[in-house]
Amino acid sequence: MSRSVAQNTTYLTASYILQKVISFFYFILIARSISVENVGTYTFAMSFTTLAAVFIDMGLSQILIRESAKYKDKAKEYLSATLSFRFIASLVVYLLVFLGIGLFLKHPLGNDSVANDLLTKQLVYLSGLVMIMDSFTLGFWGLFRGFQNLKYEAIGVVLNQLIVVAIGGASLFFKLPLHFLVIAFIGGSLFNLIFSAILVRRKLKIKLSFNWDKKLIFSLLKLSFPFALLAIFGRIYGYIDQILLYFLAGAKEIALYSSAYKMIFALQFIPSAFAAAIFPAMSSYFVEAKDKLKDIFDKSMAYLTMLAVPIMFGIASLADKIIGAAYTDDYLPAVITLQLLSIGVVFVFLNFPLGSLLNATDRQVQNTKLVGLTMIINLTLNIILIPILKYNGAAIAFLCSHGFLFFAGLYCARKVIAYSKRLLLISFAKTVLAGGIMSLVVMSIKDSVNILLSIAVGAIVYLAVMLAVKGIDKKDYNEFKKIFLR
């Protein structure tokens, strides 16, 4: 990878991490400023259209990146064809969203409290505009990725989020209607759409136009089908719990669940960045050196375990303090939910290198099947558990489905490389021992000291025990640092 591309990739990764951090604290601000029910309604509206948005893109962004990278002289032709499809698809999907939300609210699935909720409909209609604009922006930035120029997307991501926070923060300060929180997203998305479109014209010298060549459009859709399938499975898997919570339980329940889920979701940038760093090496070693592929997989699993286990124990031990510090007392019922989700952190972290291994070794179809099966399990468990346990039911479904994906992924990975089960078990045992001792110490002091001091003491105890049981040494530290610097 050239220096400029590596630099641009770093900019983009950093911008998405910054965007997630800003987004997390913005959600906390919203949760502390409006009622729990309104948080649930707002969260549902954004989740509903985010799920629908995947049917506008249909994996075309990935194909645009790949094909424009290979055939730069045809980039304009590909972009114009995908824009044509997005135009038609956005109209169709928005119409389905418009009709679908009315149908669901008229005939709610066992929850009469949301029937004929005019506010919910209005928020969904507004967030549907965000869905459309973001789908076009995704195509424009996809072209930049194909040309290996990522820094402008990095700038757009951060500015988009800052505009959302500025408009949304002002609406909260002046106590404007809930609609303005969605209007804030419209403002950010509109800026990003115009910004990306102008840059395509000026930097890439490509004039924007539509291309209604049916043969070309269908050929691109055929290529994009595997990407579309994986994206659909992933999007349903990621958002169906919140949507079902609204319909099966109510707005308050989705707000309580989201308050805990956002904390877990915010941590995913860690394994995501880790996986991005090791994926090129895995792809290369699969062809050139299978022994090195085994080595990097073993170490990746061990290092992410060292990170995930203390996070799990730390969140579980301080869940009441974390919820109390971040939100208001109205969200304290979500403490058990956060504790359940914290257990899933281990599976979430370790699923990233497992997925990277399957994709890097040309087993992306198998990986797609696993994600699809996991989605079905998650959907089934949510339908069964939410009516009984409400938001805690959704948390259990999250834990079980991620656990299934982890163990199924391990089984499939064993057919690729003979990874060391012994190393994984020893690493896990040492981190659990260190995490357990850390948890006992933290729980004994958390009521008498500040939460930040509890976290600091917990981190020191964990590291001390890990050094004592030789769970980590100087070599591990240097390798760990090298991966993250990459």
Tokens of 173: 């300060």
Question: What value does the mean pLDDT take over residues 445-462?
Answer: 93
* Distance (Å) of CA 450 to CA 199, 267, 280, 436, 453: 48, 22, 42, 20, 5
- The answer on 316 and 218 residing in a single domain is no
Q: What is the dihedral sign for C-alpha 30, 32, 38, 44?
A: positive
What does the pLDDT read at residue 53? 92
- The answer on 396 and 447 residing in a single domain is yes
> Which residue carries 């987004």 as its tokens?
23
CB 231 within 8 A of CB 94: no
Which residue, among 345, 45, 381, 338, has the nearest Cα to 182 in the 3D structure?
A: 45
483, pLDDT greater than 70: no
Q: Tell me whether residue 288 is exposed, middle or buried, using C-beta atoms within 10 angstroms of its C-beta: 0 to 12, 13 to 18, 19 or more.
A: exposed
Question: What value does the mean pLDDT take over residues 296-313?
Answer: 89
**Chain-centre distance of CA 184, in angstroms?**
21
CB 263 within 8 A of CB 325: no
- The answer on 149 and 255 residing in a single domain is yes
- The answer on 423 and 310 residing in a single domain is yes
Q: How many residues in total does the chain contain?
A: 486
What does the pLDDT read at residue 481? 64
**Single residue among 251, 266, 281 that ends a domain in this structure:** 266
CB 346 within 8 A of CB 264: no
What is d(CA 458, CA 443) in angstroms, rounded to the nearest whole number? 10
291, pLDDT greater than 80: no
CB 217 within 8 A of CB 84: yes
What is d(CA 252, CA 344) in angstroms, rounded to the nearest whole number? 23
What does the pLDDT read at residue 485? 61
What is d(CA 431, CA 434) in angstroms, rounded to the nearest whole number? 5
208 versus 486: the higher-pLDDT residue is 208
**Single residue among 248, 266, 284 that ends a domain in this structure:** 266
2, pLDDT greater than 50: no
Confidence of residue 123 (pLDDT cuts 50, 70, 90): very high
**Single residue among 225, 243, 266 that ends a domain in this structure:** 266
> Which residue carries 């971040």 as its tokens?
326
Confidence of residue 176 (pLDDT cuts 50, 70, 90): very high
- The answer on 262 and 246 residing in a single domain is yes
Which residue, among 375, 371, 436, has the nearest Cα to 409 in the 3D structure?
A: 371
Q: Which domain holds residue 280?
A: 269-486
- The answer on 19 and 124 residing in a single domain is yes
* Distance (Å) of CA 129 to CA 35, 50, 99, 342: 25, 11, 15, 34
Three-state SS for 146? helix
CB 117 within 8 A of CB 105: yes
Tokens of 135: 């789908």
What is d(CA 238, CA 374) in angstroms, rounded to the nearest whole number? 11
What does the pLDDT read at residue 8? 61
Report the share of the chain in percent with pLDDT over 90: 55
- The answer on 473 and 418 residing in a single domain is yes
The values of phi and psi at residue 394, to 5°, are -65, -35
Domain count for the chain? 2
What does the pLDDT read at residue 169? 96
453, pLDDT greater than 90: yes
CB 367 within 8 A of CB 229: no
285 versus 181: the higher-pLDDT residue is 181
- The answer on 355 and 431 residing in a single domain is yes
- The answer on 277 and 262 residing in a single domain is no
DSSP-assigned letters across all residues of 216-249? HHHHHHHHHHHHHHHHHHHHHHHHHHHHHHHHHT
Return all residues near 160 (Cβ < 8 A) that are at least 6 apart.
19, 188, 189, 191, 192
Tokens of 145: 């990725």
- The answer on 319 and 252 residing in a single domain is no
Query: For residue 244, which amino acid is it?
Result: L
417, pLDDT greater than 70: yes
Among 103-117, 369-383, 385-399, the range scoring the smallest mean pLDDT is 103-117
- The answer on 16 and 146 residing in a single domain is yes
Tokens of 291: 């022994």
CB 262 within 8 A of CB 43: no
- The answer on 282 and 216 residing in a single domain is no
Confidence of residue 484 (pLDDT cuts 50, 70, 90): low
